[in-house]
């Protein structure tokens, strides 16, 4: 595989004052089997490019090698379902040690809450946009409902690109903390270690956490995990939830996870 170019320059996060500028320049280690440097450049120059849907073998016209190009989300998790353990191990293996250390210092995440803000739009502005913000009251009430099902105030960890002032409604509840590991991959691995996930389902960040963690997960009724083609291989609930009446199957799973029968 050609070594990926992780570095990105994004103006939006800087203009919005987000804590993570999403440059991604210092997240991952180079793998020993990746093609880098001059050799990578030569492969790019000499090879015929072919997208992932094509299948013309290992060699192209006139003996030229073929550079297989994977681009876009395609069918999202459809063909990744079932590979969560392998991919979680691979992600940890390429993540730089300082971010793994920051993740491992957080011993337990009973309830993980992903509050996506940043470039997500206000719901009233673009109601048909899947990338829209969820009212903070839904996160707050959902946490209360899960705690009611558990039978005690299980602790919760927030992962968010929002500011503390914007998350005050959640942070004012007992046993709730905001975690910033210092990197996007660290925050994702923390979120994926949740026992129960309260997600921003329009965000692929939440979807990756749900995929890697295979925990019960809920989203606002106006959003859905369906378009990500996610399958929970533990048969846990993964879908929309109204905090005033959580699905019975989810309540039973929460009781089982947190030890209250």
Residue 261, pLDDT score: 44
Q: How far, in Å, CA of 147 to CA of 153, rounded?
A: 5
72-107: burial string, b at 16+ Cβ within 10 Å, e else: eeeebbeebeeebeeebeebeeebeeebbebbeeee
Residue 148, pLDDT score: 96
The token pair at 31 is 């793998």
Residue 225, pLDDT score: 85
The token pair at 44 is 């790019």
SS3 198: strand
The CATH number of 97-257, from 3.40.50.2000, 3.30.70.20, 1.10.10.10, 3.30.565.10, is 3.40.50.2000
List, for the chain, all residue ranges whose pLDDT scores fall below the cut of 70: 7-25, 56-63, 119-132, 260-261
> What is the pTM assigned to this prediction?
0.83
Alpha-carbon radius of gyration of the chain: 20
Q: Under the phi-then-psi rule, with left for phi > 0, alpha for psi from -120 to 50, and beta for the rest, what region is 10?
A: beta
pLDDT digits (tens, 9 = 90+) for 117-143: 776 656 555 556 666 678 889 999 999
The token pair at 216 is 């019960």
Q: How far, in Å, CA of 157 to CA of 167, rounded?
A: 12
Any residues with CB less than 8 A from the CB of 110 and at least 6 apart, and which?
A: 154, 155, 156, 157, 194, 195, 196, 258
Q: Which residue has the tokens 């929309």?
A: 240
Residue 101, pLDDT score: 94
Residue 100, pLDDT score: 94
Tell me the torsion sign for CA atoms 142, 176, 115, 227.
negative
Q: List the chain domain ranges.
A: 97-257
Instruction: Please provide residue 113's backbone torsions phi and psi, each rounded to the nearest 5 degrees.
Output: -125, 120
The token pair at 29 is 């280690």
């Amino acid at each position: 595989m050609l070594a990926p170019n992780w570095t990105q320059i994004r103006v939006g996060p800087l203009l919005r004052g987000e804590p993570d500028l999403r440059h991604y320049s210092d997240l991952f280690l180079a793998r020993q089997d990746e093609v880098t440097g001059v050799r990578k450049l030569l492969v790019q120059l000499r090879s015929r490019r072919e997208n992932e849907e094509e299948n013309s073998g290992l060699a192209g016209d006139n003996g030229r090698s073929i550079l297989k190009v994977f681009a876009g989300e395609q069918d999202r998790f459809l063909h990744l379902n079932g590979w969560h353990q392998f991919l979680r191990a691979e992600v940890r293996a390429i993540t730089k040690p300082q971010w793994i250390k920051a993740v491992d210092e957080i011993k337990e995440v009973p309830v993980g809450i992903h509050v996506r803000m940043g470039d997500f739009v206000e719901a009233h502005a673009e109601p048909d946009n899947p990338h829209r913000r969820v009212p903070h009251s839904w996160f707050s009430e959902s946490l209360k409902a899960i705690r009611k099902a558990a039978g005690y105030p299980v602790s919760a960890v927030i992962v968010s690109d929002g500011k503390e002032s914007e998350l005050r409604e959640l942070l004012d509840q007992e046993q709730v903390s905001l975690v910033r590991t210092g990197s996007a991959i660290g925050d994702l691995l923390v979120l994926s270690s949740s026992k129960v996930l309260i997600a921003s389902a329009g965000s692929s960040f939440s979807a990756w956490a749900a995929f890697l963690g295979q925990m019960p997960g809920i989203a606002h009724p106006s959003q859905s995990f369906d378009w990500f083609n996610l399958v929970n291989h533990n048969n846990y609930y993964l879908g929309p939830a109204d905090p005033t009446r959580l699905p019975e199957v989810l309540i039973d799973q929460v009781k089982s996870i947190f030890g209250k029968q």
